[in-house]
A and B are shown apart, each in its own frame.
Chain A
Amino acid sequence: MIEISNVTKEYVEGNKALRNVSITIEDGEFVFIMGRNGSGKTTIFKLLLKEEELTSGKIIVNDMNLGKMPRSYVPKYRRRLGVVFQDFRLLKDRNVYENVAFAQRVVGASNRRIRESVPAMLQMVGLSSKYKMYPHQLSGGEQQRVAIARALINRPEVLLADEPTGNLDSHNAMEIMKLLEEINEMGTTVIVVTHSHEIVEKMHKRVIYMERGCVVGDEMEEDGLEPEEEGMTEGGEIYED
């Protein structure tokens, strides 16, 4: 379970990117965090990734308090997460197989384990036949599949995706979202940061709306609540995400 309690994040310039944000995400949930640029959604992503330190409040991910986590433990914590970015962040000089295997090599997996798990993962994301290809030989959707395979190869408990469909056309975007849904159905908690209404509407999942560093709506799949209007939140500065 992920518990974000009264979290405020203030950057050194004095800008508050998050103001007293509280969110709870249960194990195995599929959640969208939605908002415009500067709403604070990427800041949440960075805090969950332990890339940024929170200013106040508490974040607990699977019983680990991120605020009290020593730097030396961060690599171990990150091994329990999978991360997918909008720009894929693949290694251009390595083929599909090596890109996925890379995630296992850097955590010290044995060659045997790599030989067993990489083909299985490539099969799951539908890239078995393209394992020898290099990123520049793949479409955007295929590159994102490689990135997802790399994120999942170490069997994370939580998958964090920052605008995973941002660089894709609507067809490929939906394919990627279906893949994320399948992964979620296998038990992985999936958190997708996006600003795409189209995707969110088609997926019928929980959506957390953010505006100017505050949570302004939390729409569950079943209840169909509309997001709160912008005017309902405190006014504030526009922040860079």
Chain B
Amino acid sequence: MRISTFWYCVKQGVRNICRNIWFSLASVATIAACIFLFCMFFSIMVNVQHVVHLAETTVGITVFFDEDLNVGQIQAIGSEIARRPEVASMEFISEEAAWEMMKEDYFEGLEELAQGFEEDNPMAGSSSYQIFLNDISKQDQFVAYLQDLNGVRRVNYSNSAAAGLTSFNTVVGLLSVVIIGVLLAVSVFLISNTINVTAAFRKNENQIMRYIGATNGMIRAPFVVEGVIIGLMGAIIPLAVMFYLYHQAIGYVEARFQILSGIFQFLPLETIFPYMAAAAMLLGLGIGFFASFFTIQKHLRV
């Protein structure tokens, strides 16, 4: 295609939009709503996944063993646990190390009091393994496995945080898929309707084009341009809104819910925006392209 022909098609696409400005605006608004929700859910999911990831790397499972086991037996069980695929890393904490950690946590400034226990380690029989998983959603299953192991006395783990975050992420994911799916269908329908109206306006022109010897591609091109422009406009608007709102939302949540600041660390916009923008633009482009491409198909035969 010549450059002049390309620009002619672009110009015709813009003309089509101007001809049906209200239909076009309705289509842009629907796609914008769809993509705005997509961006919102995208931000929530990415942040939740970030928190879950933090939880995976900082919240561990602690396994204690029967008091009559010696270090060798404990380490043999440890080797068996280490072979499990869920395990990202694990660390052996001897009873001496456990006592040192306890002194740091509870006897700071009370060293004399601590010295009273030197001869009789209060953490005797408390050798343990601290285990970190590579996927926190598998925690319950893994804890059950540990509890069934011979020699394991107790398993300490934080159930609520991990399970809560994981299920929240799943609910947000499912909800976003359903809502975005419905909005996508509405967007495609509206673009299709807009293209149909334009095609009706241009019926005479299309017919003349056919008689003159225009190819299907040439007839279709202005409509595809129209669909793509509508799709891209529908993506740019919510991205601009999200760019502004994300900062505002983080500022608001951090100011109003300071208690969350220790648990919840929001990802900076600069980290997620390039991915969000690329996904949103592709979505807008895709909706516009495919809706217009297939809608105009039926108008091509004269």
Contacts and interface: CB of A to CB of B under 8 A. Distances in A.
Interface of A: 49, 51, 75-81, 83, 89, 91, 102-103, 105-108, 110-111, 150, 154
B214 interface: yes
B210 A78 contact: yes
B204 interface: yes
Interface in B211-228: 211-216, 218
Nearest to A76: B213
Given A75-B213, A103-B212, A108-B1, 10 more contacts: A49-B211, A51-B302, A79-B212, A89-B204, A91-B204, A105-B8, A106-B213, A108-B2, A150-B212, A154-B212
Nearest to A112: B4
B215 A91 contact: no
Minimum-distance CB pairs A-B, first 10: A79-B213, A78-B213, A106-B214, A75-B213, A75-B215, A83-B211, A111-B4, A103-B212, A108-B5, A106-B209
A154 B2 CA distance: 17
29 contacts: A49-B211, A51-B302, A75-B215, A78-B210, A78-B211, A78-B213, A80-B213, A81-B213, A83-B211, A83-B212, A89-B208, A91-B204, A91-B205, A102-B208, A103-B212, A105-B5, A105-B8, A106-B209, A106-B212, A106-B213, A106-B214, A107-B214, A107-B218, A108-B1, A108-B5, A108-B218, A110-B2, A111-B4, A150-B212
Contacts, number: 50
A83 B212 CA distance: 8
Chain B contact-residue range equals: 10 to 19
Contacts of B216: 75
Taking each of B5, B208, B212, B302, which has the highest tally of chain A beta carbons within 10 Å of its own beta carbon?
B212
A83 to B, nearest CB: 5
A102 B213 CA distance: 12
A79 B211 CA distance: 8
Contacts of A105: 4-5, 8
A103 B216 CA distance: 15
Nearest to B8: A105
Interface string B189-207: 0000000000000001101
B212 to A, nearest CB: 5
A159 to B, nearest CB: 12
A111 B5 CA distance: 9
Nearest to A103: B212
- Most B CB contacts (10 A, CB to CB) among A75, A80, A102 go to A75
Nearest to B9: A105
B65 to A, nearest CB: 77
A83 B302 CA distance: 14
A149 to B, nearest CB: 13
Contacts of A107: 212-214, 218
A80 to B, nearest CB: 8
Contacts of A79: 212-213
Given A105-B8, A107-B214, A108-B218, A91 B208 contact: yes
Nearest to A78: B213
Contacts of B204: 89, 91
Contacts of B5: 105, 108
A231 B52 CA distance: 93
